[in-house]
């Protein structure tokens, strides 16, 4: 590990996370968060003060606000939470928790992504589709999936996670029951690439387009070069029922290790056979992680129905 790496680093010599802060409790036992994504907005204000002569003083202030979206799957909705909010605002699906299959309703959403324009991409699991939900819209448009359950190149079954590749307008879908990663171009009726992986749960991509996936039966992380169906097992020990995984802006990989109740970090450039560093422990079924623009870590803690924030030390 290099000390020049400014990401969320942790080692026996350097601890960079303070105690977690419960950011919000999503709800009762039936309101369970399984995925989250952070968004930031910046606002600037300025003022000019004159001293009565030809001289004046100008000041400006820039404020960055971080909000997050969480998929509340048992209530069939996506909620947006701002700083210090005590309740979320439903931004997709029914606020009352009504499930459905029309463009305005959801049925057990399990993964979300928000682009730079605040448009959402929602994996609507039991409707067997991925929706593009434009910012402020009352409904979504299907951009992947046909609504048909199966194991063909045009169908999937119980997909839990996805990774959205905006630069190439495509989605990597973790097709859990069929033990495979499917690559879906936006608005396509069929997958363009299928990668087999037993026990597949989580999927993400790095800055170079390589695909990383977790297996919760083999307790591994496997890397696939972009466009390849042949992968290399990068992590083969130290994980217990891993779930989702994400990279930070510095190239460090974080794995939500559900069975161990930990978040495990692998430093940028890690090689096959690497053993990660536990940066958070004592969690109850962590399923997903996300970062804000200040590199604070947010954990979706399924077992306690809440999102927990871990602040980066100065």
Distance between CA atoms of 158 and 201, rounded to whole angstroms? 10
Task: Find residue 48's DSSP bridge partners.
Answer: 58
155 located within any domain: yes
Answer whether residue 262 is part of any domain: no
Domain membership flag for residue 144: yes
pLDDT higher than threshold 80 for residue 36: no
| Separation of alpha carbons 22 and 146, rounded Å | 38
pLDDT higher than 90, residue 64? no
Instruction: Return the bridge partners of 84, or none.
Output: none
CB 130 within 8 A of CB 140: no
Which tops the pLDDT comparison, 54 or 119?
A: 119
Once rounded to an integer, what is the mean pLDDT over residues 252-275? 97
CA-nearest of 104, 132, 103, 139 to 118 is: 132
Tens-digit pLDDT profile for residues 123-165: 999 999 999 999 999 999 999 998 999 999 999 998 989 999 9
Any domain includes 293 = no
In a domain, 55, yes or no: no
3-state SS, one letter per residue, for the chain:
CCCCCCCCCCCCCCCCECCCEEEEECCCCCCCEEEEEEEEEEEEEEEEEECCCCCEEEEEEEEEEEEEEEEEHHHCEEEEECCCCCCCEEEEECCCCCCCCCCCCCCCEEEEEECCCCCEEEEEHHHCEEEEECCCCCCCEEEECCCCECCCCCCECCEEEEEEEHHHCEEEEEECCCCEEEEEECCCCCCCEEEECCCEEEEEECCCCCEEEEECCCCEEEEECCCCCCCEEEECCCCCCEEEEEECCCCCEEEEECCCCEEEEECCCCCCCCCCEEEECCCCCEEEEEECCCCCEEEEEHHHCEEEEECECC
CA 152 to chain centroid, in Å, comes to 26
Average pLDDT of the chain is: 82
pLDDT in tens, 23-32: 433 333 324 4
CATH for 166: 2.120.10.30
CB atoms within 10 A of CB 172: 23
Residue 52, pLDDT > 80, answer no
pLDDT at 271: 97
CB 308 within 8 Å of CB 298: yes
The count of domains in the chain is 1
pLDDT at position 81 is 80
Positive or negative: CA dihedral 69, 167, 206, 111? positive
Report residue 184 as tokens: 């879906």
Does 297 map to a domain?
no
The pLDDT of 1-20, averaged and rounded, is 33
| 282 pLDDT above the threshold of 50 | yes
- 258-297 burial, b for 16+ CB within 10 Å, e for fewer? bebbbbbbbbbebeeebebbebbeebebbbbbbbbeebbb
Percent of the chain's residues with pLDDT above 70: 77
> Which pLDDT band holds residue 293 (cuts at 50, 70, 90)?
confident
Whether the predicted pLDDT of 1 surpasses 60: no
Q: What is the pLDDT of residue 149?
A: 94
Is 8 a domain residue? no
> Structure tokens of 10?
């942790």
Assess if residue 264 is contained within a domain: no
- List the domain range (segments joined by +) for residue 240: 29-41+63-255+271-276
Q: Is the pLDDT of residue 181 over 50?
A: yes
Residues 6+ apart with CB under 8 A from 87: none
Model pLDDT for residues 65-120, shown as the tens digit of each residue: 456 566 677 889 998 887 777 788 899 999 999 999 999 999 999 999 999 899 99
- Mean pLDDT for 169-191 is 95
């Amino acid at each position: 590990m290099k000390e020049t790496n400014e990401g969320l680093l942790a080692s026996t010599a350097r601890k960079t996370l303070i105690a977690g802060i419960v950011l919000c409790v999503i709800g009762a036992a039936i309101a369970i968060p399984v995925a989250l994504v952070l968004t930031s907005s910046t606002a600037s204000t300025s003022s000019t003060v004159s001293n009565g002569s030809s001289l004046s003083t100008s000041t400006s202030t820039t404020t960055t606000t971080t909000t997050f979206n969480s998929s509340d799957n048992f209530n069939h909705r996506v909620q947006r939470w701002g700083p210090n909010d005590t309740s979320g605002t439903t931004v997709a699906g029914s606020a009352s928790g009504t499930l459905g299959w029309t463009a305005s309703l959801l049925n057990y959403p399990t993964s979300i992504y928000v682009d730079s324009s605040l448009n959402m991409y929602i994996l609507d699991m039991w409707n067997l589709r991925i929706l593009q939900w434009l910012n402020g819209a009352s409904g979504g448009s299907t951009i992947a999936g046909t609504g048909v359950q199966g194991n063909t190149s045009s169908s999937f079954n119980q997909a839990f996670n996805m990774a959205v590749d905006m630069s190439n307008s495509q989605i990597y879908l973790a097709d859990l029951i069929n033990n495979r990663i499917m690559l879906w171009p936006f608005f396509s009726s069929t997958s363009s690439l299928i990668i087999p992986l037993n026990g597949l749960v989580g999927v993400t991509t790095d800055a170079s387009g390589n695909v990383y996936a977790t297996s919760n039966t083999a307790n591994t992380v496997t890397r696939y070069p972009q466009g390849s169906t042949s992968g290399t097992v990068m992590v083969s020990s130290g994980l217990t029922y891993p779930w989702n995984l994400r990279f930070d802006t510095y190239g460090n990989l974080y794995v939500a290790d559900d069975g161990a109740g930990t978040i495990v970090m692998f430093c940028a450039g890690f090689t096959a056979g690497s053993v990660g560093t536990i940066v958070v422990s004592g969690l109850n079924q962590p399923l997903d992680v996300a970062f804000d623009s200040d590199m604070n870590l947010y954990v979706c803690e399924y077992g306690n129905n809440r999102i927990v924030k871990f602040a980066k030390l100065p």
